[in-house]
Amino acid sequence: MVLQVKICGLKDDESVLTAIEAGADFIGLVFFPKSPRHLEITEAAKLADLARGRVKIVALVVDASNDELAEIITHVAPDYLQLHGRETPERVDEISKLYQIPLIKAIGVKTQDDALLADDYPMAEIILFDAKADPKISELPGGNGIPFDWEALSGQKEQRNFMLSGGLNAENVKTAITLTGATIVDVSSGVERAVGVKDTGLIKTFIETVKTA
């Protein structure tokens, strides 16, 4: 099985084109003002147009309102919404019914009990397991470059295909895939030369490493 790759937090044409040409399957555009990877709607729309039809476009939001979601869907037209906040199952179900767009629900993981929360989100097309953020250290729910104990996902591969994130880079991603059985891997800070600044060489290396795993 060929593994899939999502490069998240892209902010410029060069990074988007590099990801596409290197074989990424998804690109992530971030809509969260506290993030160094945040995009305004007009910027995101241009990047989405560059990528449309070539890779799947993911709009990452954190506890977004209906008005915010409607604006993103209208102007960016993503293929997926990635809900990366504290959205309850009821809220995710509401978004699914309102917008009829495939959803990725992020679950912050520290222990196996955290991973079991994925069972509460059958309406999400993809579950993304990420490292649970410590609010004392960072206001960001993801993109902190911190891996978690992948053994916490024991048994998940028998239940669902899922996306894995959290501190991944070209050096550890093969091990992460082997231990978890993830079918999709998601990277952001692991392909950056500075916070929020993507490195095209690291993007290429990461994708090549995954595709040959």
Please give the positions annotated as active site.
8, 134
Other beta carbons within 10 angstroms of residue 183's beta carbon come to 17
Distance (Å, whole) CA 168 – CA 42: 29
Residue 26, CA atoms < 13 Å, CB-side half-sphere: 26
| Cβ contacts of 207 within 8 Å, gap of 6 or more | 5, 7, 19, 22, 23, 24
| Burial profile 68-94: b = 16 or more Cβ within 10 angstroms, e = fewer | ebeebbeebebbbbbbbbebeeeebbe
β-strand partners of 186: 6
Among 130, 140, 137, 132, CA closest to 196: 140
Please identify which residue in the block is written with the tokens 């490292």: 131
